[in-house]
Structure 1
């Protein structure tokens, strides 16, 4: 039986995390071996992996490694892996932009993980498109690529010809998504089981923490923020916030959202839920007590807001992240 091959290329740019490059190489190799052992499959597909680096004198990325030679010059997929440290600069990213645009024009699916999205962003291809990156890079990404529709709650966004993944380790999720696309859901599930990793379905907001903007320069808004952090946002009454700011109500609301990117209600809720996450991770305190401690008299309302912001119920969050062993359920 003739085997059709799908080539997935991994771009090794300056600062790229090599662990993800080799990890994805292994993941796709495992998936291909599992697929080859299923004789009931009438259509045989295999994934080959290549590594690409920028080479002189042409300063054009070329294959520097391949698991199996192919006659086709254009890979089916290119992945821009995460970076360790700072996000790639515009200068670094622009060295790859013409090549990436040309590959995409010829039908290559472009993917990024974490800070790899900055290389993808410099191509302009994300303009008007949904994308994600590591939540810690959200402000910088939004500033550099304001026309992209950034959603850092999502761990993987599959937009067809463009795929983006959020956190540093989200390469496992992206890899499994690609296995599912090319080899099917059964092989994807078997690969995840063999490698003991979660199948796709997680969200980045499970792992993100509340990182408020405090360097915006609006001193009146900053005064409100400092008061909220000092009091744990226990008092969310608008009159209290307005009094702290020294501004008119409408002015305070407008300036607060401009400076922080959130309404006062959303800001306070995220502060409270962030504290609740910390307590769920590190204590065995009953959930009703935690709800009260962070400012919610109604545990039912707390659960609804927690689910909306985090994407998990408080009980599920505790089960996944608690470091204390046995916990008290409520």
Structure 2
């Protein structure tokens, strides 16, 4: 029998009173995806996702208590905070888990949450100034506890590159399939959804790929700049400023940034801006000119040309095809 090829590790955080159904459901979902990937794979080692479970030990350390493929050092590319079984006002603060998440994020791990798991991510401080989603019933509590976070419960999944938040208590299926699509491809994601008799995540049925930044390259100085660009929407991306944040001479910064990310800083910033513009076109009725200004383009004509180059569609056509608000208006009409 061919030894499976581990493509990545996903860590699941078992914090106090979290929803174990999500922990075990995600564990099963990733295993099923791996089995289906093996059926679709060509000759060679079939790809699998390594799944690990993490708890807080008596001494406060976060330790692994389950490993689907033991024997290797841990290096999770994604970690997930599942829903809670108690209301947010009864959720205890978890500084140890928050510190663990922050440390992993600094090393390139993508942080994920489902439902009230966003409260655990909120304690890291990494969501400040960003958009995040949680259960609609928790929106006011979340906004009060973390006033610096832009709460958007109208969206099921908010993928901000290095941090992904999912909304409802059963949105772990949306998040799980989103990660399967990222790691094993759309064919395996769709096969997994069909096998489990669940709908694919709406954002992953779209015809155009979304920007997924490289975060696990190991260059900590460049990673800090990536986090800065993601958190600020790349509105400020002057090379001198970015090089200064990385503590490098400009030529060295440009070389290392491209080596780590595969893109020049300007192109990287454009990808982030275009991702924000696409979300605005999908989820709001704001005029294209306003969206262009909001994501950092003063010239709407230049924005339209760039948007078409990145997506293959003009902003108006993109909104007609994928805009949720436009679809609702059409139905009402």
Aligned partner of 2:174 in structure 1 is 173
CA distance in 2, matches of 1:312, 1:140: 31
Aligned partner of 1:112 in structure 2 is 113
1:37 is aligned to 2:39: yes
Aligned partner of 1:50 in structure 2 is 52
Deviation string 1:106-149 (CA, Å, 9 cap, x unpaired) is 11111000000000001000011221000000001111111112
Q: Is the alpha carbon distance of 1:310 and 1:51 closer, same or farther for their aligned partners in structure 2, counting shifts above 3 Å?
A: farther
CA distance in 2, matches of 1:74, 1:137: 32
> Superposed, which structure 2 residues align to 1:270-309 within 5 Å?
308=325
Shift of 1:74: 2.9
Deviation string 1:25-52 (CA, Å, 9 cap, x unpaired) is 0000000000011233778531011111
Aligned partner of 1:290 in structure 2 is none
Shift of 1:70: 4.5
CA distance in 2, matches of 1:152, 1:22: 25
Q: Is the alpha carbon distance of 1:55 and 1:309 closer, same or farther for their aligned partners in structure 2, counting shifts above 3 Å?
A: farther
Aligned partner of 2:202 in structure 1 is 201
CA distance in 2, matches of 1:18, 1:35: 25
> Superposed, which structure 2 residues align to 1:4-83 within 5 Å?
4-40=6-42, 44-57=46-59, 59-83=60-84
TM (norm. structure 1) is: 0.59
Aligned partner of 2:146 in structure 1 is 145
Q: Is the alpha carbon distance of 1:125 and 1:48 closer, same or farther for their aligned partners in structure 2, counting shifts above 3 Å?
A: same
Deviation string 1:247-266 (CA, Å, 9 cap, x unpaired) is xxxxxxxxxxxxxxxxxxxx
Aligned partner of 1:297 in structure 2 is none
Q: Is the alpha carbon distance of 1:18 and 1:7 closer, same or farther for their aligned partners in structure 2, counting shifts above 3 Å?
A: same
CA distance in 1, matches of 2:191, 2:125: 36
CA distance in 1, matches of 2:113, 2:128: 15
Give the 4+ runs in structure 1 shifted more than 4 A: 41-44, 88-91, 309-315
Gaps of 5+ in 2: 204-323
Q: Is contact 1:133-1:166 (8 Å) kept?
A: yes
Deviation string 1:33-86 (CA, Å, 9 cap, x unpaired) is 0001123377853101111100022x0111101111152323111100001121
CA distance in 1, matches of 2:71, 2:7: 9
Q: Is contact 2:55-2:65 (8 Å) kept?
A: yes
CA distance in 2, matches of 1:136, 1:26: 28
**SS in structure 1 of the partner of residue 111 of structure 2:** strand
RMSD: 2.5
Aligned partner of 1:289 in structure 2 is none
**SS in structure 2 of the partner of residue 169 of structure 1:** coil
Q: Is contact 2:9-2:74 (8 Å) kept?
A: no
TM (norm. structure 2) is: 0.59
Larger radius of gyration: 1
Gaps of 5+ in 1: 203-306, 316-329
1:97 is aligned to 2:98: yes
Q: Is contact 2:26-2:173 (8 Å) kept?
A: yes
Shift of 1:92: 2.4
Shift of 1:4: 3.5
Aligned partner of 2:226 in structure 1 is none
